[in-house]
Amino acid sequence: MVVKKAPRTLFDKIWDAHEILRNESGQSLLWIDRHFVHEGSFHAFNKLNARDLKVAHPALTTGIADHYVPTRGRSIQVVTDKVRSVIEQLEHNTREHGVTLLGLDDPRQGIVHVVGPEQGLTQPGLLMVCGDSHTSTHGALGALAFGIGASEVAHVLATQTLWQTRPKRLRITVDGRLGAGVTAKDIALAWIARLGADGARGHAIEYAGEAIRALSVEARLTLCNLSIEGGGRCGMIAPDDKTLAYLKGRPDAPEGEQWEQAEHYWRTLHSDEGAVFDREVTLRAEEIAPQVTWGVSPEEALPIDGTVPDPARAASPAKARQIQDSLDYMGLRAGQKLTEVAVDSVFIGSCTNARLEDLRAAAEVLRGRHCRVPGIVSPGSTQVKQQAEAEGLDRVFIDAGLEWRESGCSMCVGMNGDQVGSGERCASTTNRNFKGRQGPGARTHLMSPAMVAAASLTGHLTDIRELTR
């Protein structure tokens, strides 16, 4: 008798393949295929060292310097003593534990979530973790990938496993076709504005639908990257021909017979017909306009042709106070047109939007024009930087008046000293508009790379559709 297996979601297939055991209260012990550490992982290595533990499987962890690295040249001498110290701790800890490090001088260096896919370390069906919330990025290739804290990083180093409670499943379907000037960034900000920054809390997200299938792999990486900003445990997209074409030939991708074997398995990685999701949300691609954030949470996003919200029209006094608090911090007026908000600087970079396609999109807007405000471009990886230079994109940015820097997390999080000044307003391709995220008192507006480029030309938030019309 043939027993038909119950239909499963993409997420459940990968989870099940990694479940070592389940305890009495329902938590699963999961096998981890790939683990990344960065400078911030020193707390975890300290925990390991304090207990005199070794890294269980050093070959399955890769170290990458990104959070604190200087972007003005590669000399470690230009940073402050304390920044230098955390970079050196990563070098020391990876060396002591036999972990490969893609350090400052390595041509493969870059932001963890750009390097993983670029090197082919990220593959469909893998379970990947890193002590960074934007690990959700890797789900774009059909991996199950999520961020963890330092105690969990130490646990993975010591055991190559992790205890997790199976999250619920949320499918976000985007039907139809995106309009001109509308990107994966706008899909993400639109659904987060609709569901809230905790809207997907406790859920594994799968993105599906015609508009998602139509996205390039790089655009899918942007979308999955932002899953955490809506509270999602992870974000993933079923691998397809595009995914496989992207992966083939990358340094760490399987080859020959192993590729055949892998591809056979990868082709099974999709949600089965009839698989049940705990929650379903559908968006129409045509209804999504280019988005910008106006407040201090990614959920505080609006279409660029909108106006700054009015606390007087809020649903409750608590909500009104919350909006007023955001407006006060951001220095905005209720009812003000978003396109009238002047910016002081721009930043193009981060694990969200600093891949080659992002730089091309921004350069396309800037080509032959001059920026009204200063800004920085930090490519997502050293390899992206080289590719962009080979295409002459560096000249486009420099000629327009922007700074062309080395790769790192840079002004997304400001840890290396690249910061937005207090009270200054920055149009940014990054992922968080939190208070003080880009520096104490900094005001961040999140948007797509082309929208940031447009704002740099006009000196105010700008509808890319108007500029290119």
Partner 1 sequence: MTPFTELSALACPLPLENVDTDQLIPARFMKESRDKGYGGFLLHDMRFGADGTPTDFVLNDARAKGSEILVARRNFGAGSSREAAVYALVDYGFRCVIAPSFGDIFSSNSVNNGLLPALVSEKDCEAILDALGDRPGELRVDLNAQTITAGDRDFPFEINATWKIKLLNGWDDIDLTRARAEDIERFREHYTAAYPWVTS
Residues from 269 through 298 that contact partner 1 (CB under 8 A): 296-297
> Restricting to residues 324-383, which ones interact with partner 1 according to CB under 8 A?
325
β-bridge mates for residue 74, sequence order: none
Minimum distance between the CB of residue 43 and partner 1, rounded to whole angstroms?
6
* Residues 296, 435 contacting (CB under 8 angstroms): yes
The stretch near partner 1 (CB under 8 A) out of 334-342, 364-372, 395-403, 408-416 is 408-416
Coil vs helix vs strand at 404: strand
Q: At 381, phi and psi to the nearest 5? A: -155, 165
Q: Which is nearer to partner 1, 4 or 82 (CB)?
A: 82
Q: Binding of partner 1 at residue 394 (CB under 8 A)?
A: no
Q: How far is the CB of 231 from partner 1 (least distance, A)?
A: 7
The nearest distance, CB 395 to partner 1, in angstroms, is 32
* Alpha-helical segments (H) within 209-337: 210-213, 217-225, 241-247, 256-266, 317-330
Fill in the DSSP letter of residue 208.
Answer: E
Residue 132 CB, nearest distance to partner 1 (Å)?
A: 6
Binding characters for partner 1, 102-141, by CB under 8 A (x = yes):
---------------------x-xx----xxx--------
Q: Which is nearer to partner 1, 151 or 468 (CB)?
A: 151
- Min dist CB 338 to partner 1, Å, is 20
Nearer to partner 1, 97 or 460 (CB): 97
Cα separation, 413 vs 272, in Å, equals: 39
Nearest residue to 182 via CA among 426, 448, 445:
448
Options 198, 287, 328, 340; binder of partner 1; rule CB under 8 A: 198
Exposure on the CB side of residue 243, measured as CA atoms within 13 A: 25
- Rounded (10°) CA dihedral 363, 366, 367, 372: -140
Q: How far is the CB of 450 from partner 1 (least distance, A)?
A: 26
Using the rule CB under 8 A, give the single segment among 305-313, 361-369, 371-379, 429-437 that binds partner 1: 429-437
- What residues does 147 pair with on adjacent strands? 130
Return the number of the residue (211 or 413) whose C-beta is nearest partner 1: 413
Reference 48, options 112, 93, 102, 100; nearest CA is 93
Tell me how far, at minimum, the Cβ of 283 lies from partner 1, in Å.
21
Stretch that binds partner 1, among 194-202, 236-244, 383-391, 400-408 (CB under 8 A): 194-202
258 vs 468, beta carbon nearer partner 1 = 258
Interface pick for partner 1 out of 145, 338, 413, 426 (rule CB under 8 A): 413
3-state secondary structure 364-409: HHHCCCCCCCCEEECCCEHHHHHHHHHCCHHHHHHHHCCEECCCCC
Buried/exposed code over 274-295 (b: 16+ C-beta within 10 A; e: otherwise):
ebebeeebebebeebbbbbbbb
Decide: is 320 part of the binding site for partner 1 (CB under 8 A): no
Residue choice 261, 268, 282, 468 for contact with partner 1 (CB under 8 A):
261
The answer to whether the CB of 172 falls within 8 A of the CB of 208 is yes
Quote the CA–CA distance of 369 and 359 in Å, as a whole number: 16
Helix (H, G, I), strand (E, B) or coil at 202: coil
Tell me which residues in 210-229 interact with partner 1 (CB under 8 A): 228
Query: Interface residues for partner 1 in 13-32 (CB under 8 A)?
Result: 17-18, 20-21, 23, 25-27, 29, 31
Element (H, E) at 91: helix 81-96
* Nearest C-alpha neighbor of 71 from the set 377, 356, 359: 377
Q: Which residues have CB under 8 Å from 357's CB, separation 6+?
A: 216, 218, 219
Indicate the residue among 252 and 466 with the shorter CB distance to partner 1.
Answer: 252
Q: 58, 176, 179, 196: which one contacts partner 1 (CB under 8 A)? A: 196
Contact assessment for residue 333 and residue 326, using Cβ atoms and an 8 Å cutoff: no
Q: How far apart are CA 226 and CA 208, in angstroms?
A: 15
Provide the greatest CA pair distance for the chain: 72
How near is the Cβ of 413 to partner 1 at its closest, in Å?
Answer: 5
Stretch that binds partner 1, among 80-88, 102-110, 209-217, 453-461 (CB under 8 A): 80-88
Nearer to partner 1, 32 or 343 (CB): 32
443: three-class secondary structure by DSSP: strand
Determine if 435 is a binding residue for partner 1 (CB under 8 A).
Answer: yes
Site for partner 1 in 142-181 (CB under 8 A): 147-152, 154-155, 158-161, 163, 165, 167
Helix or strand or coil: residue 282?
strand
**Minimum CB separation from partner 1 for residue 48, in Å?**
9
Smallest distance, Å, CB 318 to partner 1?
7
Structure tokens at 277: 């999701």
Count CB atoms within 10 A of the CB of residue 210: 13
Query: Minimum distance from CB of 203 to partner 1 (Å)?
Result: 9
| Site for partner 1, residues 35 to 64, rule: CB under 8 A | 40, 43, 46, 51, 53, 59-60
From 195, 415, 450, 452, residue interacting with partner 1 (rule: CB under 8 A)? 415
